[in-house]
Structure 1
Amino acid sequence: MSTSAQRDRQTVAVVGMACRFPGARDVQTYWRNLLDGASFLAPLTDDEARAKGVPDGVRGLERYVSVSGAVDGIEHFDAAYFGISPAEAAVMDPQHRLFLEETVHALEHAGWAGRASGRRVGVFCGSGENRYGALLPSPGDGESSHRGMSDAPAMLPLRASYHLDLRGPSVFVSSLCSTALTAVHLARRSLLADDCDVALAGAVSVQLPHEHGYVAHDGGVMSPGGALRPFDRTADGTVPGSGVGIVVLRRLDDAVRDGDVIHAVIHGTALNNDGADRQSFAAPSVRGQRDVILAALREAQVDPATIGYVEAHGTGTPLGDPIELAALVEARGQLGVTAPCAVGAVKSSVGHLDSAAGMAGLIKAILAVREGVIPATVGHTWLNPAVDLAASGLYVNGERRPWSDASHPRRAAVTALSVGGTNAHIVLGQYTPAPAADPHAEATQPYLFPLSAHTPAAFQRLRERLADVLAGLTAGTWPDVAHTLQAGRAPRELRRAYVASSPAELQARLKDDTAPVPQGRIQLTVDLTGKANAAPSLPGLLPLPEGAPENSSGGERAFLLVHAALTTLTGLGVVPDVLVAVGSGIFPAAAAAGALDRDVALQCAVRLERVRDIVLNGGDLSVCDRELTSMEKELAAARRAPLSTAVRCVTTERTFPAGSVPSVEDFLEVAHMVVMEGGQEAGAAAESCEDRPDVLRALADRDSWLALLGHCWERGADLVWDAVRDPAARTTELPGYPFEPVRHWAVPEVVDPVRQQSAPVAVASAALAADDADVLAEVTAIWEAVLGVHDVTPDASFFALGGHSLVAAQIIARLRERFAVRVPLGDLLDAETPAGMAGLVEERLVSARLYTELSAADDTETMGTFEL
């Protein structure tokens, strides 16, 4: 194998990113901040520190430093989006909450949010310690299950895999400050080993108390001056920060094949540990850091002289910074590299993000490689005199500059180091795609643009955001927008599908105050009396039927077109709840639902259409008799099977449910009604409406066919978007999902009204007490207390409100306390609603009363008293 081929086989593409760092809620803002040379480590005034809750005793300390890199909104979370109950969200580590939301944004950025569910998508991530749990009161009985899942940091990847239905490896990573790059290394290895097809790698860290600053101790690593100055002679320590970052990785060949946007490629990664080759456990080692750099370069198999930028760990400590640069100098010296190479560190802009530190550096390097700009290293003015960069070609980049060398693809490296000695190094490079289509080409056809959200407010914001970005869109990227919305977004409950032929048209439609459509029944009208010609623009979307020459009868061609359309819809993932048949439409409907063979249904439909024409035109009725007699014989000889889909017959006003088998007489009744009504279909026009689109009419043109698909998707169909996709379409960058920020933050434990009542201690007392109890009200109160929700209705779904088996166990315990009844877990989950659970309780209370009465009678007559 050639070196080039081997290198390509080892290459992994970065196809998506998401982050929330100090001063930036998304990747675009983060990059803009880096280009501006902004730092978000500004100190708080004393009044600001007091307002944020810093105790007087802390603020008065001589070494108190009111500086930190904080992210906004860590107390907010869209629990409903993930199906998590408010009670569980209230005690969940905010690191988990941030990571869940940014996982969605990362998959959206990659164009994979709509395709990831149920696929081999791996999650490799880590977090800081759960400092939030220490702020909460000790869990009571009603919180133990929630806290058990939330207190453990290792639950982080498992949560992401569960809530987003990701089926690849789900691995928690922890190597302290190098956690993020360790996760990337493991994710890349998993992809190359074919353990998964898509891999998310990331890390999160939230410093608590949040925004409070820190106390700098003598001899510690924290800066007493509150300024982080990487590699600078005035550097006196680091400054903490909070943040989350995630990258989405794929094998390069797969990403190119599927039209993913490739922001950069990772050529090689390496991981090692310093071992005992250092002064102390917390001290770094030149040899260990040098060796990890060399190992990553060997794996990358790229010319080390082509690496023009190194994003260093750069903590701003007098000990760590010189050792890191010395290791880099030694590595380049062994390789004989003296080409110019900039060195930078992002920590002076956002702080030291602990477990997530490497992700801030990696995303910065990816953007620098992609955009061809090296941002300035904030806070660096004079090189640390303990560092010797002479003849190495290295220089610390103190100002924003363009990437000057264009003789080869831009390449960069990223280093992450940790207390304890785990070193990680990544070599990445620019990706040069094949020439794209002319961005100024005119759009020649309409596309389908699906939009969905889980609340009306979120839908409104999403619609407005998309309308805003369409203003600067070129027609050449038009198919990309459709493809990204179709396959790159996870479908939610409230949906709206738009058909448009240009960005301006879609923008106008989005700006109309159109409400989303809640999911519902899919009902399609099957009527053969419409125009029986498919539009010329449809062959790419709908296979034209065989055996229907242009000179065939209208009834035959209409049947074949409708049958082809219904078959295609099934292949696209549309499973109608009801096929509404008009007249002879009963036959293609029955064929599509599997009750009749297609050829038999075709012959019967053609005969009935002939009969209808004769009756309408006043022809020879004896011909009608012969056609109906032949139809009866064909139906009697045919094999009939149960319907897979319900069929409603407008002509006879009958509905045949799924699983039933229409009789010969049922079909003949339709034919006789057509004759009796003179060929006219009473009520047919009323049946063909917005809620029941006509399949044949949908074949008139591309707009109509896409509108039919959009109608089905709006009502819950899980469409196979790849079958609709323009082959040339690629993923493009669109606004991410606008989560609903709800405050879930150290909520004081609410007194449970159920538990204020004295718990019954025996079956007899429970049975007597329950005589006056409203069981449904009691069960509802238990739900509200355990799930942390209000106004629960009797038919509410336990699972929709964020319930799961561990929460159900809490409910069982409270039911036992309140009513002294034991309800099996399986029965409780099957009941699903408060009304259903109340029914289970009432059944057991009746049994308890009966047992009590019988025991009392038996006791009075024969036994005396005894302990049960």
Structure 2
Amino acid sequence: MSVQKLDRAVAVIGMACRFPGAQDVDAYWSNLREGKHFLDRLDESALRDRGVPRDRYTREGYVGVSGTVDGVEHFDSSFFGIAPAEADTLDPQHRLFLEEAVHALEDAGWAGRAAGRRVGVFCGSGENRYGRLVPEPEEAAGSHRRMSDTPAMLPLRVSYHLDLRGPSVFVSTLCSTGLTAVHLARQSMLAGDCEIALAGAVSVQLPREHGYVAPQSAVLSPDGVLRPFDRDASGTVPGSGVGVVVLRPLAAALRDGDRIHAVLHGTAVNNDGSGRQSFAAPSVVGQRDVILAALADARVDSRSIGYVEAHGTGTALGDPIELAALREAREQTGADTPCAVGAVKSSIGHLDTAAGMAGLIKAVLCVREGVLPATVNHRELLPSADLGGSGLYVNTRSRPWPDLGQQRYAGVSALGVGGTNAHVVIGRHVAAFEPGAVEDGAPQVLPLSARSTESFHRLRERLADALTGGPDKPCADVARTLQDGRMPRELRRAWVASTLSELSTRVKDETDPVAAGPLEAAVDPGNAVSPDPSLADRIPALRTALEHPDRAGRAFLLGHAALEELDALGVRFATLIAHGAGEYLAAAFAGALDHDVALRCAMRHEAIRAVVQEGGDLSVAEEYLAAVTDDLRAHPPTGPDRALRSLSLGETVPAGCVPSVDHFLDVAQTSVMPDGPATFPAGAVDLMGALSSWENWLALAARCWERGADLDWIRLRGGFPRTVDLPLYPFEARRHWAIDGPALTATPAPAPAPVAPMPAAVAEQDVPAVVVAIWESVLGVRDIEPGADFFALGGHSLVAAQIAARLWERLGVRVPLGDLLDAGTPEGMAELVRELKASAELYGRLTTSHRADLTESFEL
């Protein structure tokens, strides 16, 4: 590929989807390869089970066929920190897209490192049909619901919940929304607005999930069969789905070892304007021109295009125009080489805003795998289409990619009602070189985490199966994918292994994950060992420490270098638990003592111990003690940035609290007293013992990660491993459905009864109970504890506004929103309410008294 093309090429590094009959990309490709279709035809019994009213499915022209996505009523709200009550009313399209955005980033190997970076989000959704079916909210929640129901909130939600800092843009061009989003995402990256981009679209058809009414002369198929470009084509069939891709400049993807599914070479978007029969009619000229513009942008010879994934709606008006536009575009570029045409809609239905994503993901898989799946339901070309001499043919059987040389190029079209046309040109990625690999057989940290214990074990089991049943992968590549490619969640386990068989054995262990907690380090230079040479090679400061001539000084510098390296990796110890000379080391690292002063004190401390243990001249020990005293008085301690726990003295200096000089003098005095080995708490990590080998160092890092440290994996592992295919996060299928009855029912549920006001006498006595009851109602969470964290339960400012409104309704107290958010817990809010009530009552009494005085004076 030329430098000119490389500068504008964009890699597709991640994909995720949920389409009819397919819960992920692998299932989607398998279905396409096998020529399956998933337009469900429901009989009367199935329609009744789905809650379809009889007067609907017996209506003339009713067709009980649709491309449905399973589980639209399910959502893992806790994974995203969304309160259950909010999740119940959230548009299912937003819920699906959030989960698939995570899966796409995982597939790209970026879910663990995207947070806080300039990652753009360009996406669109269909109408929020769900919002029209759920009960109207009470007045206090009305403004929140109205904002939440807005389709344009979709990219903003993704950016917020995944902490993505690039442009966040809602796209809506109806049926061409998905490809338009891809075009805008690519343009944004080329302009430098973002370094990575999520692009996609989602559409959930409600209540048409269970069928539709097809009047004569409409675009909907009267027999429920979608036949692209076929003589018997009679219309389209609606479907639901979501598709997301992750895009990155090709040069950056190659540099960092990203897995590249395909390369996006060119994109174009235009509109037919008024040059068409009517507003809703397509135009040959507009479609032809957008294809030519995309080819020009890609700088790809149209004769090398071996496949076009067409819009192919199976309508009498749209299909002939689309084929005519393809033919004219090829004629103008002189292309007559074989070029297959396909359309996935006959397999899964017309996915409306997500239609282009289904086509793009299919085309990416085609160029990657070198296979062209059959176009289902196409038997004979429609009579009005003339493809003679163009090289175009509708692909009716699964076949290998046409032999046009090593490169494979494909085009993808999406055409929107209203005239917005989009076309992209993609190509197969042929690796010209491999990034430098990490030494195979070296130990690696392999982390795994989840939001719940159930999800953790499901993910652990899937990983174990993938490691034993799939193609062999370098252990370093698996480690990199788990480290960078997965979002670190609250429950964690990490293993150190050198081979996949070793890892597989350890992953099969059903031990529960570890919950994050404060990190404590055991600091005892007396346990210092000579570091493994490979460890010293990886941490240069260790080699510098080894050059110190004094044994005690060498141990101090080794420990300090280890603490600094851990800090650089992202480990933040809450407490340093130290013994003997290690107390000076801990104090130096925590900022309580000057480094050089602490080093001298540590060396003198060990010198005193040596004198005492060897029965030497005690006056020498006294001279060392005096030197320690002089040094500490000349350079008094300052406040440490973390807690220091002294095993020698049995006391703790809290973070920020300045220890006295006498504290360290007392430590020095302990050096003259014989003692046994220090006994550190079981939960503290052994700092000095980890220096004995690279594997032990990795085990220490793994343990720190398990307790909540977010490690700089690139610094830890070194080298340039690649992203590989591994199981994606198994979201918990929690039902969030505010419509009464089955998930696909169109009958709204009755509105929930408002919380009854509490009698004034009770409210006076039990304000905390009122606050907890309001929290449980607004958040949809049961058994909330008085100290529960508002934000951890999915709260935010709009939810707090609902709480404030209910506090006014129930207790007659107006609580400022900022104060309410600062309170943060039920007990905090209850205390705030009590204070405000007391202030209001005092003000009322004073005002009443003042008015009485004025009135009496006036009458006198």
Q: Does TM, normalized by the shorter one, top 0.5?
A: yes
Quick check: 2:219–2:236 contact (8 Å CA) kept in 1? yes
Is the aligned partner of 1:254 residue 2:255?
Answer: no
Which of 469, 486, 503 is 1:506 aligned to?
A: 503
Unpaired stretches in structure 2, ≥5 consecutive residues: 740-748
User: C-alpha distance in 1, partners of 2:652/2:708?
Assistant: 22
Q: Which residue of 2 aligns with 1:625?
A: 622
Q: How does 1:257-272 map to 2 (within 5 A)?
A: 257-272=255-270
Q: Which residue of 1 aligns with 2:838?
A: 846
CA drift of 1:410 comes to: 0.7
CA drift of 1:436 comes to: 4.2
Q: Which residue of 2 aligns with 1:203?
A: 201
Q: Which residue of 2 aligns with 1:304?
A: 302
2:337 is paired with a residue whose SS is: coil
Q: Which residue of 1 aligns with 2:789?
A: 797
Q: Which residue of 2 aligns with 1:823?
A: 815
Which of 826, 839, 854 is 1:834 aligned to?
A: 826
Quick check: 2:136–2:751 contact (8 Å CA) kept in 1? no
Quick check: 2:436–2:720 contact (8 Å CA) kept in 1? no
RMSD: 2.0
568-577 or 839-848, which deviates more? 839-848
Quick check: 1:483–1:726 contact (8 Å CA) kept in 2? no
CA drift of 1:668 comes to: 1.9
Quick check: 1:202–1:247 contact (8 Å CA) kept in 2? yes
Which of 439, 443, 447 is 1:446 aligned to?
A: 443
Unpaired stretches in structure 1, ≥5 consecutive residues: 759-765
CA drift of 1:435 comes to: 4.4
Q: How does 1:402-417 map to 2 (within 5 A)?
A: 402-405=400-403, 407-417=405-415
Is the aligned partner of 1:671 residue 2:668?
Answer: yes
CA drift of 1:642 comes to: 2.1
Quick check: 2:560–2:589 contact (8 Å CA) kept in 1? yes
2:112 is paired with a residue whose SS is: coil
CA drift of 1:670 comes to: 1.0
User: C-alpha distance in 1, partners of 2:285/2:310?
Assistant: 16
Q: How does 1:334-413 map to 2 (within 5 A)?
A: 334-405=332-403, 407-413=405-411
Q: Which residue of 2 aligns with 1:687?
A: 680
Give the partner amino acid of 1:169: P
Quick check: 1:475–1:502 contact (8 Å CA) kept in 2? no
Is the aligned partner of 1:755 residue 2:756?
Answer: yes
Q: Which residue of 1 aligns with 2:724?
A: 732
User: C-alpha distance in 1, partners of 2:360/2:776?
Assistant: 44
CA drift of 1:137 comes to: 2.2
Quick check: 2:304–2:404 contact (8 Å CA) kept in 1? no
Q: Which residue of 1 aligns with 2:610?
A: 613
Q: Which residue of 1 aligns with 2:460?
A: 463
CA drift of 1:76 comes to: 0.7
User: C-alpha distance in 2, partners of 1:376/1:658?
Assistant: 67
CA drift of 1:401 comes to: 0.6
Q: Which residue of 1 aligns with 2:777?
A: 785
User: C-alpha distance in 1, partners of 2:763/2:231?
Assistant: 77
Give the partner amino acid of 1:647: L
CA drift of 1:238 comes to: 0.6
Q: Which residue of 2 aligns with 1:811?
A: 803
Q: Which residue of 1 aligns with 2:554?
A: 557
User: C-alpha distance in 2, partners of 1:780/1:314?
Assistant: 55
User: C-alpha distance in 2, partners of 1:634/1:126?
Assistant: 67
Post-superposition CA distance 1:603-642 (Å, at most 9, x none): 2212211222232333332322222222222223336332
Q: How does 1:457-606 map to 2 (within 5 A)?
A: 457-472=454-469, 477-545=474-542, 547-549=544-546, 552-606=549-603
Quick check: 1:16–1:263 contact (8 Å CA) kept in 2? yes
Give the partner amino acid of 1:141: E
CA 1:473–1:419: 2 relative to 1, 3 Å = closer
Quick check: 1:753–1:781 contact (8 Å CA) kept in 2? no
CA drift of 1:856 comes to: 6.0
Quick check: 1:65–1:224 contact (8 Å CA) kept in 2? yes
Q: Which residue of 2 aligns with 1:718?
A: 710
CA drift of 1:476 comes to: 5.2
User: C-alpha distance in 2, partners of 1:434/1:582?
Assistant: 56
CA drift of 1:769 comes to: 6.5
Quick check: 1:264–1:369 contact (8 Å CA) kept in 2? yes
CA 1:451–1:132: 2 relative to 1, 3 Å = same
CA 1:616–1:145: 2 relative to 1, 3 Å = farther
Give the partner amino acid of 2:82: I
Give the partner amino acid of 2:738: A
- TM-score, normalisation: structure 2: 0.95
CA 1:558–1:792: 2 relative to 1, 3 Å = same
User: C-alpha distance in 1, partners of 2:381/2:276?
Assistant: 24
Quick check: 2:40–2:68 contact (8 Å CA) kept in 1? no
Quick check: 2:268–2:293 contact (8 Å CA) kept in 1? yes
Q: Which residue of 1 aligns with 2:744?
A: none
CA drift of 1:717 comes to: 1.3
Is the aligned partner of 1:99 residue 2:97?
Answer: yes
Quick check: 2:72–2:92 contact (8 Å CA) kept in 1? yes
Quick check: 2:271–2:421 contact (8 Å CA) kept in 1? yes
Post-superposition CA distance 1:381-414 (Å, at most 9, x none): 1111111111101111001111141623111000
Quick check: 1:616–1:679 contact (8 Å CA) kept in 2? no
1:782 is paired with a residue whose SS is: helix
Give the partner amino acid of 2:735: R
CA 1:16–1:23: 2 relative to 1, 3 Å = same
Is the aligned partner of 1:40 residue 2:41?
Answer: no
Post-superposition CA distance 1:631-660 (Å, at most 9, x none): 222223336332112111100111111112
Post-superposition CA distance 1:747-798 (Å, at most 9, x none): 546655633557xxxxxxx6x6643x41111111111111111111101111
User: C-alpha distance in 1, partners of 2:811/2:115?
Assistant: 41
Quick check: 1:532–1:554 contact (8 Å CA) kept in 2? no
CA 1:181–1:549: 2 relative to 1, 3 Å = closer
2:115 is paired with a residue whose SS is: coil
86-95 or 615-624, which deviates more? 615-624
Quick check: 2:259–2:724 contact (8 Å CA) kept in 1? yes
User: C-alpha distance in 2, partners of 1:372/1:72?
Assistant: 29
Give the partner amino acid of 1:680: G
2:7 is paired with a residue whose SS is: helix
850-859 or 828-837, which deviates more? 850-859
1:468 is paired with a residue whose SS is: helix
User: C-alpha distance in 1, partners of 2:726/2:254?
Assistant: 20
Q: Which residue of 1 aligns with 2:743?
A: none
Quick check: 2:269–2:421 contact (8 Å CA) kept in 1? yes
Q: How does 1:137-176 map to 2 (within 5 A)?
A: 137-176=135-174
Quick check: 2:435–2:721 contact (8 Å CA) kept in 1? no
User: C-alpha distance in 1, partners of 2:146/2:563?
Assistant: 50
625-634 or 256-265, which deviates more? 625-634
Give the partner amino acid of 1:315: T
User: C-alpha distance in 1, partners of 2:367/2:67?
Assistant: 25
Give the partner amino acid of 2:737: W
User: C-alpha distance in 2, partners of 1:30/1:619?
Assistant: 80
CA 1:559–1:37: 2 relative to 1, 3 Å = same
Quick check: 2:262–2:367 contact (8 Å CA) kept in 1? yes
Q: Which residue of 1 aligns with 2:642?
A: 645
2:536 is paired with a residue whose SS is: coil
CA drift of 1:662 comes to: 2.7
User: C-alpha distance in 2, partners of 1:127/1:284?
Assistant: 22
CA drift of 1:4 comes to: 3.0
User: C-alpha distance in 1, partners of 2:774/2:549?
Assistant: 67
Give the partner amino acid of 1:603: R
515-524 or 701-710, which deviates more? 701-710
Give the partner amino acid of 2:809: E
